[in-house]
Amino acid sequence: MRPFPSLASTLLAAALLPACQSQSTQEKAPSGQTDCPATPPEYTIRHPDWARQASIYEVNIRQYTPEGTFRAFEAHLPRLQKMGVGILWLMPVYPIGQERRKGTLGSYYSVRDYRAVNPEMGSMDDLRHLVAEAHRRGMYVILDWVANHTSWDSKLAREHPEWFTRNRQGQFVAPVADWQDVIDLDFSQPGLRQYMTESLLYWVREADVDGYRCDVAGLVPTEFWNSSRAALEKIKPVFMLAEWDELHAPPFLRPGEFDPNTRLLEKAFDATYALRLRYLLDSVARGRQPVAAVDKYLQAERAKYPPSSYLMTFTTSHDINSWDGSEYERLGPDVQPQAVLAALLPGIPMVYSGQEAAMRKRLKFFDKDPIAWGNYPLLDFYTRLLQLKKRNPALANGDACGRLTRLPAADKDVYAFVRHRGGGPEAVLVAVNLGPELRELPVPAAWHGDYRDVFADQPYMLAPGAALPVPPHSYRVLERAVTHQP
């Protein structure tokens, strides 16, 4: 569904508290401390083991290939496996409503039947085959789930009109003024909750999917998500991603409608969006805020959530690409350095279909508009990022023992840090330069030593007295003491 409009001017308006995971800029090395902050008891979520080092890849089936089918997409699985993808998020795979449809093909998020496959994409057997092949290659599959609303001509609207929100005239209503192709579901109805939970269970049982990305999850009662997660876990461990950000209010809600005490990450969801960070970094790219504002964001995030929580980091998505502009429109020369930040700051990173093709266009949302893959000019770039994320324990998702130490930067355009685990040997040093000139990063003595330059794929020594050169609108990523896998 359409995301929240850019809110760069308001992203850091809330009071910001000190972080407990990030360390302030200083020159001391990790002390060997092995104690890790305890997760508060109300956080009962248990992340699946396979998500610990995973990244997410959002799959736009309609635009991925000229055919727009599961089978055609399946041919790309070997490439995505080599790229290091852990979780495949399939945008909605269900039949799309005809009534009040937008464009020629309609919105994925205008669901006509929760227990059927969109025939334009293939059959249920095709989906099962795709999931099985992904599993064979060590990847997991989550489906996009749209619990908040259906199409006007949905199966539920015909069979259970009492499950929908009505206006004073007794008519169906859109959940948001701009979403006129869908109608709002009423989760005060026990029958609806039961049906929706059974539908979530259906796809896990019938197609062996591994969880869900849940559209506008904060518009659906948290208690529903809590009970549904518990029901899903009785089948197998699942991964649940919420399209929501509890650090700021969605602008489409009226004053007073946003509940700042929503707790989606306690019992129901493994991850929510780091959308506030995304719009902050958009603001940085436009010169409206310094990149050092990321420090305050990290402090706010840690004040809100324990380190065991996941927030999904990204530079684009289906919504942002189609409505706010391509990465190249929004971020200009900083597309790659910002991708490095999104992948290597704390959080679970996400890559959207076409990023590895350096896609410069806005994909049409309601019509056919295939991605032009070319020769995948950024495939090596994303492979190095995601494989690093996959192999290095210092970059683990939701690791309460993980640390982020900021490095002092002499220039306002440089942001540098080290991810590490207490006194362990694994570390990843990251420096991005969003400015137009070469910068020399002074590296504290605690972090001198032997590394491997991830993108140059060669040894690199940080010697005493030496500085790390970071080219303009570029990045340096150095990895220390980890066993490399083929």
CATH of the domain at 471: 2.60.40.1180
Whether the predicted pLDDT of 8 surpasses 90: no
For the chain, the domain total comes to 2
Could you tell me if residue 22 is inside a domain? no
Whether the predicted pLDDT of 249 surpasses 80: no
Question: What token pair was written down for 1?
Answer: 């569904």
414 and 384, same structural domain? no
140 touches 86 (CB < 8 A): yes
State how far the Cα of 333 lies from the Cα of 335, in Å rounded to an integer. 6
426 and 347, same structural domain? no
Read off the pLDDT of each residue in 56-63 and give the average, rounded to a whole number. Answer: 98
87 touches 68 (CB < 8 A): no
Could you tell me if residue 287 is inside a domain? yes
Place of tokens 């518009």: 219
Q: Say which DSSP state 97 is in.
A: -
State how far the Cα of 239 lies from the Cα of 386, in Å rounded to an integer. 19
436 and 380, same structural domain? no
411 and 379, same structural domain? no
Last residue of a domain, one of 352, 375, 400: 400
pLDDT value of residue 12: 30
Whether the predicted pLDDT of 30 surpasses 60: no
Split at pLDDT 50, 70, 90, the class of 478 is very high
Question: What token pair was written down for 418?
Answer: 């080290």
Lowest mean pLDDT among 31-40, 102-111, 182-191, 387-396: 31-40
pLDDT value of residue 416: 98
State how far the Cα of 364 lies from the Cα of 102, in Å rounded to an integer. 11
pLDDT value of residue 33: 47
358 and 327, same structural domain? yes
166 and 45, same structural domain? yes
204 touches 237 (CB < 8 A): no
248 and 201, same structural domain? yes
Coil, strand, or helix at residue 306? Answer: coil
pLDDT digits (tens, 9 = 90+) for 127-171: 999 999 999 999 999 999 999 999 999 999 999 999 999 999 999
246 touches 272 (CB < 8 A): yes
Residue 24: closest CA among 481, 467, 405: 405
Read off the pLDDT of each residue in 465-478 and give the average, rounded to a whole number. Answer: 96
Higher pLDDT, 249 or 472: 472
Task: Write out the DSSP string of 131-146.
Answer: HHHHHHTT-EEEEEE-
362 and 419, same structural domain? no
Read off the pLDDT of each residue in 96-122 and give the average, rounded to a whole number. Answer: 98
Last residue of a domain, one of 370, 400, 430: 400
Query: Could you list the residue range(s) of the whole structural domain that residue 378 is in?
Result: 38-400
Could you tell me if residue 474 is inside a domain? yes
The CATH number of residue 280's host domain is 3.20.20.80
Read off the pLDDT of each residue in 38-43 and give the average, rounded to a whole number. Answer: 94
Read off the pLDDT of each residue in 403-424 and give the average, rounded to a whole number. Answer: 91
125 and 247, same structural domain? yes
48 and 165, same structural domain? yes
pLDDT value of residue 261: 75
pLDDT value of residue 251: 65
pLDDT value of residue 450: 95
pLDDT value of residue 17: 30
H-helix segments, 113-254:
124-136, 155-159, 190-207, 222-233
Whether the predicted pLDDT of 62 surpasses 80: yes
Place of tokens 């929100």: 165
pLDDT value of residue 481: 65
Could you tell me if residue 28 is inside a domain? no
464 C-beta neighbours (distance < 10 Å), count:
8
Residue 373: closest CA among 357, 355, 352: 357
Could you tell me if residue 333 is inside a domain? yes
Whether the predicted pLDDT of 31 surpasses 50: no
Read off the pLDDT of each residue in 451-470 and give the average, rounded to a whole number. Answer: 95
State how far the Cα of 246 lies from the Cα of 230, in Å rounded to an integer. 22
Lowest mean pLDDT among 155-159, 393-397, 409-413, 467-471: 409-413
Whether the predicted pLDDT of 21 surpasses 50: no
Identity of the residue numbered 473: H
Coil, strand, or helix at residue 70? Answer: helix
Length of the chain: 486
Q: What angle do CA 184, 154, 179 make, to 5 degrees?
A: 40
Mean pLDDT of the chain: 91
Could you tell me if residue 33 is inside a domain? no
Higher pLDDT, 75 or 25: 75
Could you tell me if residue 486 is inside a domain? no
Last residue of a domain, one of 365, 400, 435: 400
460 and 392, same structural domain? no
Could you tell me if residue 362 is inside a domain? yes
Question: What token pair was written down for 425?
Answer: 């040997």
51 and 164, same structural domain? yes
